[in-house]
Structure 1
């Protein structure tokens, strides 16, 4: 996929986003309010479906409304609130530890720099980049399995890991598109460009897609 085609694809996905009614939008609704919510939701969403994470976060935020609440809550209660997100016991420990880090190392504020976010327990590049975009409005590209899969299907990149995809995209994609690239491709991947049975017959960008061309006789 050439850059000019990619720009057209992004504009189409922007127009289609609301009509897709993807699970990512329900999760994004739980992130609104402050950077801590965005960080918690994004960390919990790893290895978990967005619809599940959204329900857990809604329940969690009825109990945990501040950094102090997160510091004070009993770990067993936190585990119960986080179930059934993937690896909920590990994530409960991560949340307790990163809450302590935020208070002790960053004066009670979620950091707004990549290298500082990466110091937080359980936070990798995908989580950090998404938090930069959604909590602080800073340009970054969060690459999860959807973004990695779709960009390779499009032949936009030829990479084996999400981190390789992130590096490649920062070289290819103009910064003006970084902010909403993740949400657009995740919504597209959740509803149309699925991992096992992509819905190529109803895909709004099929004319630009290398994967469709390979499938067609």
Structure 2
């Protein structure tokens, strides 16, 4: 029988285990100076169905040309699409970004409000990007559940949910608010490099003691 799940100990061990690996894209970008709410939201849109290794250089290429809503509106859709090449669906993302920039200028005087409900009202912005952008740029508590967070927390047996949105709701009930931002910061690289989708590194996992290994049939 597994011991009672101790989230504090588990997250501490996860943080130690991921030190050799690159930070999640949004956290890396904020360390590089791209820390405004608008920049974080734009980078999160870039990251949709796009690897971090691609998201970071594309974000930097884009921000070398435009970093504010006003500057984005100086670009036409074709130019913005060119800057987004390498990410998935660059034309769709360009349209989404221009729509966000336009609303930000028209309704919020160029400054996105640090408000979850406002962010998800923007076309193309879902709960994951809203919470992640808020958490990284402003420190406002929000749990962002990507594929890694969803897989890891369900594999642990800490939650039981069929979809990321349902995982988010369960985590919000079980995780102290002070740790909400850490969930994505820690579990994204942990899920990418250690608790992988196929053949997870269970034999050397630092939190195997607490993990129920739900759905794991083969591992390393």
TM-score (norm 2): 0.90
- How much is the aligned-residue C-alpha RMSD, in angstroms? 2.1
CA displacement at 1:130 relative to structure 2: 0.5
Q: Deviations over 1:140-183 (max 9, x none)?
A: 10011111111110011111111100111111111121121111
CA displacement at 1:119 relative to structure 2: 1.2
In structure 2, the residue matched to 1:169 is: 171
Choose 29-38 or 166-175, whichever is displaced more: 29-38
Asked if the contact 1:26/1:50 (under 8 Å) is kept, the reply is: no
**Matched position secondary structure for 1:211:** coil
Q: Distance in 1 between matches of 2:118 and 2:215?
A: 43
Q: Distance in 2 between matches of 1:67 and 1:213?
A: 44
Q: Distance in 2 between matches of 1:30 and 1:42?
A: 15
Q: Distance in 2 between matches of 1:148 and 1:31?
A: 28
Alignment of 1:128-207 (within 5 A): 128-207=130-209
Which consecutive aligned stretches of 4+ in structure 1 deviate over 6 angstroms post-superposition? none
In structure 1, the residue matched to 2:21 is: 20
CA displacement at 1:23 relative to structure 2: 5.2
Structure 1 unaligned spans of 5+? none
Q: Which has the higher helix share?
A: 1
**Matched position secondary structure for 1:160:** coil
Q: Distance in 2 between matches of 1:200 and 1:118?
A: 37
CA displacement at 1:56 relative to structure 2: 0.5
Q: Distance in 2 between matches of 1:8 and 1:114?
A: 30
In structure 2, the residue matched to 1:85 is: 87
Residue 48 (1) aligns with residue 84 (2): no
Residues 108 and 195 from structure 1, CA distance in 2 versus in 1: closer, same or farther, beyond 3 angstroms?
Answer: same
Match of 2:61 among 59, 62, 86: 59
Q: Deviations over 1:119-145 (max 9, x none)?
A: 112100000000110111101100111
Asked if the contact 1:2/1:156 (under 8 Å) is kept, the reply is: no
Q: Deviations over 1:30-50 (max 9, x none)?
A: 563322111111111111111
Structure 2 unaligned spans of 5+? none
Choose 5-14 or 119-128, whichever is displaced more: 5-14
Q: Distance in 2 between matches of 1:71 and 1:110?
A: 15
